[in-house]
A and B are shown apart, each in its own frame.
Chain A
Amino acid sequence: MPPDTAAILELQRAHRDLAATSARAFYFSGDDHLRLTTFNSAAAVTLAVRGRFLHVDGRIEPFDERHVPNTDRTSASSLFARGEGWLLEAQIFATAGTPRRGQCFAILEVVRGLTGGIMPLSVLAQGYVTDTQRRGFPGSPLEYSTEGPGVLRSITGTDPAAGASVQETVPTNARWRLLALIVTLVTDATAANREAALTIDDGATVFVRAPAGVAHTASLTNRYNWTAHADRFTIAQDRTVTIPIPELWLPGGSRINTLTANIVAGDNYGAPQLLVEELIED
């Protein structure tokens, strides 16, 4: 019987592929499992973990798992049992939602145990994922959550009650680069020279204080625009005052406040509008 050339070639190809993949495949003992941990701020995100697993009986099984992250930047984890064999490759991406870079940070690792004391053994992939950009094993570099560009966000803050100051806080597990903040201050008829300032603190201690440098008299509406990379100037007709601020990365819990000299009970700040670059901090 003549040798089946096609079958021999197929067998040779399979051996070559196995040899090529064995250098990068990750052995799972049967007690080892995949764990996906995320830190996410975007709404309605679902992540998929897809890949191929080589079982000890030679079967190559594709898998497709799902994970729903939290939306408050706290960690959420899912465990996926795979059995004994070799993880050939895996990738993570968003199948629902549209997280941008800086919003959904994922860590895919190998752990031992499914319940109780779970021991992390190895990190396979780590970095931001979106609906179009993936993290994969093998191949993707391990990335820190605080490296690279973040997502640009325009945020409307709280409109405070009359007489109260503006305060915005960097959310838990977020890191902000404050690029601009604009807010309107309406003063009442009380005669006094108010002066607005922006302060930034670490949650307790002020480390930036940027006063407007102009007197804000009674019954006037001024816009105060604190902006990175700006020179200080005022526009009389529009009554806008632009004040430069340093471009700082602010960790979670940092506070951005107005501090207004001679403010009276009837003076009223509007809702501030902020432009920030945001990353996941944890």
Chain B
Amino acid sequence: MARKRCNTCLGIYDDVLPDGLRYFHVCPPVAEYFDSTKAPIDRATADSIAKLGGRYYVRYVERPNARDENAIKGRDMSTRGQPKKAGTGTTEIPPPAPADLVDAELIVVAPPPIV
């Protein structure tokens, strides 16, 4: 059992879960941003538009070099059981510090209402 960071999406996961079963990581999609004229913009520009209360469009597409650890199925024995997409690999990272394991309740002073 190891804690890993995906080198493509930087997501963190355990490769074996507490129930002993393997976990198969798949990178989430990545967003592509467009301004109100449907021209492509970068993330920072989209955030700037959001800060100003403006409008932009977003489309989710598969992340470049996405990793998909799910096993290939089929009758081809040379590929069966291999990960679907290796992506850019993973980096093993240390397990979380004990403090991270505590499910800390969020305490908010005078929380704003949910609208």
Interface residues in chain A, defined as those with a beta carbon under 8 Å from any beta carbon in chain B: 41-44, 70-74, 103, 153-161, 163-169, 171-173, 190-192, 214-215, 217, 220-222, 234, 236-239, 241, 252-253, 255, 257, 259, 262-265, 271, 282
Interface residues in chain B, defined as those with a beta carbon under 8 Å from any beta carbon in chain A: 6, 9-14, 16-31, 43-44, 46-47, 50-51, 53, 60, 68, 70-73, 80-81, 84, 105-106, 108, 111-115
| B10, B72, B80 pick with most chain A CB within 10 angstroms | B10
Asked whether B50 lies within 8 Å of A72 as measured between CB atoms, the reply is: no
Asked whether A236 lies within 8 Å of B113 as measured between CB atoms, the reply is: yes
| Neighbouring A residues of B9 by C-beta, 8 Å | 158, 160-161, 164
Q: Whole-angstrom distance from the CB of A4 to the nearest CB of chain B?
A: 58
| Neighbouring B residues of A238 by C-beta, 8 Å | 105-106
Asked whether A167 lies within 8 Å of B26 as measured between CB atoms, the reply is: yes
Asked whether A160 lies within 8 Å of B47 as measured between CB atoms, the reply is: no
Q: Whole-angstrom distance from the CB of B33 to the nearest CB of chain A?
A: 11
| Neighbouring B residues of A259 by C-beta, 8 Å | 60
Asked whether B70 lies within 8 Å of A169 as measured between CB atoms, the reply is: yes
Nearest 9 CB-CB pairings of A with B: A167-B28, A161-B10, A43-B20, A158-B11, A158-B13, A192-B50, A169-B26, A72-B71, A172-B70
29 A-B pairs (CB sep. < 8 Å): A44-B20, A72-B81, A74-B71, A153-B17, A155-B23, A156-B14, A158-B28, A163-B43, A164-B30, A169-B68, A169-B70, A172-B70, A172-B71, A172-B73, A172-B84, A190-B50, A192-B50, A192-B53, A214-B114, A214-B115, A222-B114, A236-B113, A239-B108, A239-B114, A241-B114, A257-B28, A259-B60, A265-B47, A271-B13
| Neighbouring A residues of B30 by C-beta, 8 Å | 164
Docked pose: A257 CA to B12 CA in angstroms: 16
Docked pose: A231 CA to B19 CA in angstroms: 30
Docked pose: A72 CA to B115 CA in angstroms: 44
Q: Whole-angstrom distance from the CB of A279 to the nearest CB of chain B?
A: 13
Asked whether A159 lies within 8 Å of B60 as measured between CB atoms, the reply is: no
Smallest CB gap from A199: residue in B: B60
| B21, B26, B51, B72 pick with most chain A CB within 10 angstroms | B21
| Neighbouring B residues of A72 by C-beta, 8 Å | 22, 24, 71, 81
Q: Which of B11, B44, B68, B113 contacts A159 (CB 8 A)?
A: B11
Smallest CB gap from A163: residue in B: B43
Q: Which of A44, A155, A173, A192 contacts B51 (CB 8 A)?
A: A192
Besides A160-B11, A191-B50, A253-B70, 12 more A-B contacts (Cβ < 8 Å) are A43-B21, A71-B22, A156-B18, A158-B6, A158-B9, A158-B26, A171-B70, A172-B71, A215-B114, A220-B112, A221-B108, A239-B111
Asked whether B24 lies within 8 Å of A172 as measured between CB atoms, the reply is: yes
| Neighbouring B residues of A154 by C-beta, 8 Å | 19
Docked pose: A166 CA to B12 CA in angstroms: 11
Docked pose: A165 CA to B17 CA in angstroms: 21
Docked pose: A202 CA to B18 CA in angstroms: 27
Asked whether B24 lies within 8 Å of A217 as measured between CB atoms, the reply is: no
Asked whether B114 lies within 8 Å of A41 as measured between CB atoms, the reply is: no
| B6, B19, B113 pick with most chain A CB within 10 angstroms | B19
Asked whether A190 lies within 8 Å of B115 as measured between CB atoms, the reply is: no
A173 and B73 contact, Cβ closer than 8 Å, known pairs A159-B11, A237-B111: yes
Docked pose: A14 CA to B28 CA in angstroms: 66
| Neighbouring B residues of A222 by C-beta, 8 Å | 114
